[in-house]
Structure 1
Amino acid sequence: MTSSRGPVVAGLMLTMALAAVDATIVATAVPSIVRDLGSFSLFPWVIAAYMLTQAVFTPIYGRLADVYGRKPLLLIGMGIFLAGSLFAGFAWNMHMLILARVLQGIGAGGIQPITQVLAGDLYPLRERGRINALFSTVWGASALLGPALGGILSESISWRWIFLINLPIGLAAVVVIALRLSETVERRHHKLDILGTVLLTTGVLAVMLGLQETSYGTALAGVVLLAAFGWWETRAAEPLIPPWVWRDRVLLGSFLGSLLVGMILIGPAVYLPTFAQGVLGAGAIVAGFVLAVQSIGWPIAGALSARLYMRIGFRDTALTGLALIAVSAVMFTQLTAASSVVYAAVCTFINGAGLGLLSISVLVAAQAVVGHEHRGVVTGGVVFFRIAGGAVGASLLAAVANGTLADRLGGAGSVDDTIRALENGGDETVRLALAGAVHNAFLAMLIFVVAGFFAVAVMPRRFTPRS
């Protein structure tokens, strides 16, 4: 692969920023969109449709990138994403907007894994920690800035520009990548694993829908479909996910570690701003700042990860990250109504540093243990498990938090309902119930961290990198 690295990396960062922003940008535009399109009951699907389709198509893009090349698959993903953005910007009802978000998600499914595959292609092992930390910073900062940007655009211009703004930025990135990135792909006949693709797509979609809607029957059906997918992959001529992937201890540890990254990441992202506003009485800007500190610790640790994994190995670097996350998780459980936002920010900084070490080390380890021809499928697996971990973690933590509220307030309730009650003048009992709910959610996160030590320990302490 020959490329002008600087311009190409800039183009890749733009594409990743767009995909990350669109995951969260619509959250603050709810009033404007519902006012124009109606159907408030359908609005959650505007967010869920994007996230679900992105997760489903991530491993598919990863495999196809190995077969047909990184550049064409990235450009196809960007083309689909931009088409979805155009349709979303001109949506005339909520159903059209949801379909446009599905299209966006299908395109976004190729952006994050392929940009990180290209980072592995463009940079040697010693430099991958730094460049992947940079990509992680772009992804994290963009996701955090999304709600603020969505609010500004919907209030100052129109909510439609939340989506239309993607077009000039995305087209600029496409032009740079198309002109400055060149790769050589071995041309040979391939037999696409169509049945495997269908089984994986429907299985993952059913599991994630079941978790989101708390429909255990749907989730169980998804598990059955995924089991059928696993059976078929041992028989397919060119499997979508080769069976040998699961027999490699480095890859297995990397996938499990990435699953835990997603599960751990979701706790502070969802519950810390809630705690800061509902319990500590901080404003939205301060609450956002408390969480944004995580995006400072993450890239700093990620940039240092290469020095660590070159010296002590990938597994021990990941375990060091988990140790930092464990410290932050214990600190999170000590948050009380008397805590300061500065203490909460320190917690998120340490958590971000741990996630930086963990996420970069498992990603680079997965890329290093395989050759160039399999880097797409393993990177797609790492990204997919991180997204899936977020969905699983969100469902489990919501069950813990909402169960605590129901127990303390004497009836069914949710975190959202409690926040609204506090905004409408809820008493101290409601405030303390919310504090207890968030405390128990952080206790559950601590359990995730302990599980993470066992997951990462699957990896061998040392191995010889192939690429």
Structure 2
Amino acid sequence: MSAEVSSPPATAPVEDTPIPSILSPAYRATTIGMVALVSLHGFEALAVAAAMPTVAHDLDGLRLYALAFGGTLATSVIGMTLSGRWSDQQGPARPLWLGLACFIAGLLVAGFAQHMPVLVLGRLMQGLGAGAISVALYVLVGRSFPEPMRPRVFAAFSAGWVVPSLIGPSISGLIVQHLGWRWVFLIVPLLAIPAALLLRPALRQVGVVAAGSTGRNVVPWAVGASLGALALYVGGQQQGWLAPALLVPALAVLALCSWKLLPAGTLTLRRGLPSVIALRGIAASAFFGCEAFLPLLLQRERGLTPLLAGVALSLGALGWFAGSWLQGHQQRGWSRRQLLQSGALLMCVGILATSLAIQPGMPLWSAMVGWVLTGLGMGLIYPSLSVLTLSLSAPAHQGANTSALQLSEALGVATTLAVSGSLFALFLEGREALGYLLTFAIMLVLAMLSVAVARRI
């Protein structure tokens, strides 16, 4: 995949000159439309997760339960890749509208499904559309907002994810209880269409920049990565010999496809844009790996109720938002590299403190403080990498490179969750503490690797 870059250095300090508000008249509709779509995507992901046990029971589809989750991740890989190429060649309008149409169609198929296989088909369509939308929105940011405004736009994106993470599961529970689970799917299109229509003026204005090189056909590699991610997800749910039988070939397929899909030098941590893209996958894997095991640890080993465990996760989301707001509004003139290094160090300290919850005698407040620090570090890292990817990409290659950024995260997180989950399963039945210790150690190593990679940007 192309890694064409422009020259703005990651060490350039943040300008002190006044920056227009992202809600000023010229940008208000675009900002509101984009953040609304991000929020609806976040709500849909979290709300469906909360409603899926009821869905699986009503449709007698427990055997396809894992596929209903893993399938969306798998098809999003294809959507990201296609959207990146189309955005570079034709502008972000077509991939955004096509992605939105696919996303809404998937929601309708799932909402009206009478059988679990039909619902899974709808989930596959949702993943394909969501992947296309996410890349198109990044390209729209790069072509609609001046560089000094982009950190604040991505801070708004983070807010768009935090709010659903706080209220999404509760709202989903109310919808399932009083309206039925189908409305968890059907209510999103009613809001997504008006939000997308706010983007029409901006999409008409951005047009198409000088065409980038089409390069080789990467779609087959995207399909291969999608199948590999799906096999990885399913393999991570298995026990016994079937788990390695699926995981080993899936990892090999993902490694080969990643080498073809990501910019040259990403897997070897070459300085500059390749390290930016690699860091997204590494840091996201560390954070979401902890997030996957923390509620299990708090509920099973420390006796917290699901409500209190959810509150604990919300603290990390609030920390993420605080870090994201800070990187977009800080006035100290910190460079992006300094923000990345600070965020990676905070993640190391935070994950180490969070892992103390494994010890029964340790107070839980120390783990909660650690999780807030982990979220704060991720909030500094995540939007900074988005800003750098756009800044270091030539306009005609912003689609390909933002696609690679999101692919790095999707494939990295899928790999980490599958491998750590399989290792954790080996230590069940009396050795859970060792399993938790091993999984948190993996996430700490990833966070420490993030510190090293941040120095190469």
Which shifted more, 316-325 or 371-380? 371-380
Query: CA 1:333 to 1:290, structure 2 compared with 1: closer, same or farther past 3 Å?
Result: same
Is 1:218 equivalent to 2:249 in the alignment? yes
Query: Which residue pairs with 2:62 in the alignment?
Result: 40
Contact 1:259–1:389 (CA under 8 A) maintained in structure 2: yes
Equivalent of 1:438 in 427, 436, 439: 436
Which shifted more, 27-36 or 127-136? 27-36
Contact 1:81–1:103 (CA under 8 A) maintained in structure 2: yes
Query: Which residue pairs with 1:448 in the alignment?
Result: 446
Query: Which residue pairs with 2:5 in the alignment?
Result: none
SS, match of residue 304 in structure 2: coil
Distance 2:396 2:255 in 1: 30
SS, match of residue 293 in structure 1: helix
Structure 1 residues 127-166: Cα deviation after superposition (integer angstroms, max 9, x where no partner): 3222212202312442454433332221211111111011
Query: CA 1:96 to 1:139, structure 2 compared with 1: closer, same or farther past 3 Å?
Result: same
Equivalent of 2:310 in 277, 288, 291: 288
More contact order relative to length (CA 8 Å, sep ≥ 6): 2
Query: CA 1:28 to 1:193, structure 2 compared with 1: closer, same or farther past 3 Å?
Result: same
Query: Which residue pairs with 1:86 in the alignment?
Result: 108
Distance 1:297 1:361 in 2: 15
- Partner AA of 2:399 in structure 1: G
- Partner AA of 1:168 in structure 2: L
Query: CA 1:365 to 1:46, structure 2 compared with 1: closer, same or farther past 3 Å?
Result: same
Contact 1:137–1:295 (CA under 8 A) maintained in structure 2: no
Give the 5 Å matches for 1:31-430: 31-143=53-165, 145-179=167-201, 181-186=203-208, 195-210=217-232, 212-213=234-235, 214=243, 215-219=246-250, 222-223=253-254, 226=257, 230=260, 249-306=271-328, 311-335=333-357, 336-405=359-428, 409=430
Identical-pair percentage: 23
Structure 1 residues 421-451: Cα deviation after superposition (integer angstroms, max 9, x where no partner): xxxxxxxxxxxx4444323321221111122
Distance 1:241 1:394 in 2: 20
- Partner AA of 1:66 in structure 2: D
Query: CA 1:141 to 1:404, structure 2 compared with 1: closer, same or farther past 3 Å?
Result: farther
Contact 1:257–1:359 (CA under 8 A) maintained in structure 2: no
Query: CA 1:299 to 1:130, structure 2 compared with 1: closer, same or farther past 3 Å?
Result: farther
Contact 1:62–1:379 (CA under 8 A) maintained in structure 2: yes
Query: Which residue pairs with 1:430 in the alignment?
Result: none
Distance 2:228 2:289 in 1: 23
Distance 1:399 1:245 in 2: 26
SS, match of residue 44 in structure 1: helix
Distance 2:233 2:63 in 1: 19
TM-score (norm 1): 0.82
Contact 2:210–2:396 (CA under 8 A) maintained in structure 1: no
Equivalent of 1:8 in 30, 36, 48: 30
Following superposition, the deviation at residue 10 of structure 1 comes to: 1.1
Query: CA 1:242 to 1:216, structure 2 compared with 1: closer, same or farther past 3 Å?
Result: closer
Structure 1 residues 360-392: Cα deviation after superposition (integer angstroms, max 9, x where no partner): 222211111122222222112112211222112
Query: CA 1:125 to 1:309, structure 2 compared with 1: closer, same or farther past 3 Å?
Result: farther
Query: CA 1:3 to 1:63, structure 2 compared with 1: closer, same or farther past 3 Å?
Result: farther
Unpaired stretches in structure 2, ≥5 consecutive residues: 1-23, 236-242
Contact 2:101–2:129 (CA under 8 A) maintained in structure 1: yes
Unpaired stretches in structure 1, ≥5 consecutive residues: 231-239, 410-432, 460-467
- Partner AA of 2:106 in structure 1: G
Following superposition, the deviation at residue 113 of structure 1 comes to: 2.3
Structure 1 residues 390-415: Cα deviation after superposition (integer angstroms, max 9, x where no partner): 11221232133222325xx2xxxxxx
Contact 1:56–1:204 (CA under 8 A) maintained in structure 2: yes
Which shifted more, 192-201 or 324-333? 192-201
SS, match of residue 361 in structure 2: coil
Following superposition, the deviation at residue 241 of structure 1 comes to: 6.6
SS, match of residue 129 in structure 1: helix
- Partner AA of 2:416 in structure 1: G
TM-score (norm 2): 0.84
Query: CA 1:373 to 1:260, structure 2 compared with 1: closer, same or farther past 3 Å?
Result: same
Following superposition, the deviation at residue 189 of structure 1 comes to: 8.5
Query: CA 1:188 to 1:343, structure 2 compared with 1: closer, same or farther past 3 Å?
Result: closer
SS, match of residue 218 in structure 2: helix
Following superposition, the deviation at residue 314 of structure 1 comes to: 2.3
Query: CA 1:34 to 1:260, structure 2 compared with 1: closer, same or farther past 3 Å?
Result: same
Following superposition, the deviation at residue 212 of structure 1 comes to: 4.1
Distance 1:290 1:24 in 2: 16
Pairwise CA RMSD? 2.9
SS, match of residue 311 in structure 1: coil
Query: Which residue pairs with 2:8 in the alignment?
Result: none
Query: CA 1:118 to 1:3, structure 2 compared with 1: closer, same or farther past 3 Å?
Result: farther
Query: CA 1:301 to 1:35, structure 2 compared with 1: closer, same or farther past 3 Å?
Result: closer
- Partner AA of 2:72 in structure 1: Y
The structure with more helix, counted as a fraction of residues = 1
Query: Which residue pairs with 1:234 in the alignment?
Result: none
Following superposition, the deviation at residue 114 of structure 1 comes to: 2.2
Contact 1:23–1:50 (CA under 8 A) maintained in structure 2: no
